[in-house]
């Protein structure tokens, strides 16, 4: 999903001079809505284009991808997802209850007295409204916590973007988080995208390790052996950690 927060973040990141961005850790960029998960593009910056207007080298970056693709982003958003699981389970239970009552009304409507039917309808309406309020409250809370994570990462990533762009001789960096016409870039070659390079540089600076890869399944031989009878209950397998698809820092 595309969200407003990226457009607002870009105003903060690129409307300020480089000197101000070097102190971005002390700024408070506005974040009106939650971020969403996105796949990273494994591209690198190209060599300067001698045909660029005025000799200015222009690059692109997907801020949304950079935040979520960083080791810190993957770690913190995965932790938030696990934190919100109990609330999701609670909402599902409430929703199932409402659906069961609706089913009861549909299947037994002709068998109920008018008073019983009206009572059931009222009960469904009350529970439906309560569910809608709970879903909205949960959504707002999740968005707020997502924004806090994104804001914190952006504040530390902004100086990395500025430094990388300066070191590589870029005169301008454009955001591609939103496709044109919602975003400012009509078209850009993948070769000018610095998202991957910035993520790699930020991972080195943050010191946050990449998410662990799941253990590889043991290879099976051609001979199938009959398993011995179980003598105890098997242990529950742990949740698989998220696979890291990032390349090593350049």
Looking at the structure of the chain, the number of domains it has is: 1
Q: Is residue 101 part of a domain?
A: yes
Reported as a single tens digit per residue, the pLDDT across 133-184 is 999 999 999 999 999 999 999 999 999 999 999 999 999 999 999 999 999 9
**Range of 83's domain?**
4-206
Q: Is residue 61 part of a domain?
A: yes
Cis peptide, bond prior to residue 9, ω within 30 of zero:
no
Please tell me the pTM assigned to this model: 0.62
Q: Is residue 228 part of a domain?
A: no
Question: What tokens does 222 get?
Answer: 């051609």
Rounded Cα gap, residues 234 and 250, in angstroms? 43
Q: Is residue 143 part of a domain?
A: yes
Q: Is residue 178 part of a domain?
A: yes
State the DSSP H helix or E strand holding residue 143, giving kind and residue range, or none if neither.
helix 114-167
Q: Is residue 31 part of a domain?
A: yes
Q: Is residue 239 part of a domain?
A: no
* Mean pLDDT rounded to a whole number for the chain: 75
């Amino acid at each position: 999903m595309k969200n407003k927060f990226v457009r607002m973040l870009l105003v903060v990141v690129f409307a300020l001079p480089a000197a101000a961005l070097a102190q971005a850790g002390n700024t408070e960029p506005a974040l009106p809505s939650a971020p969403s998960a996105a796949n990273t593009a494994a591209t690198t910056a190209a060599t300067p284009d001698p045909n660029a207007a005025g000799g200015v080298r222009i690059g692109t970056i997907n801020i949304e991808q950079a935040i979520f693709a960083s080791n810190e982003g993957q770690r913190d958003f995965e932790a938030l997802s696990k934190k919100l699981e109990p609330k999701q389970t609670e909402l599902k239970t409430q929703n199932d209850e409402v659906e069961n009552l609706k089913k009861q009304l549909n299947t037994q409507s002709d068998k109920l007295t008018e008073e019983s039917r009206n009572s059931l309808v009222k009960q469904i309406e009350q529970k439906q409204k309560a569910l809608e309020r709970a879903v909205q409250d949960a959504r707002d809370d999740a968005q707020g916590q997502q924004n806090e994570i994104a804001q914190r990462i952006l504040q530390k990533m902004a100086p990395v973007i500025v430094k990388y762009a300066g070191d590589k001789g870029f005169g301008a960096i454009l955001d591609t988080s939103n496709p044109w016409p919602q975003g400012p870039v009509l078209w850009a070659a993948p070769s000018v995208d610095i998202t991957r390079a910035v993520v790699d540089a930020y991972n080195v600076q943050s010191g946050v390790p990449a998410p662990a890869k799941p253990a590889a399944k043991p290879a099976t031989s051609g001979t199938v052996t009959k398993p011995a009878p179980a003598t105890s209950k098997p242990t529950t397998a742990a949740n698989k950690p998220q696979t890291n698809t990032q390349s090593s820092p350049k």
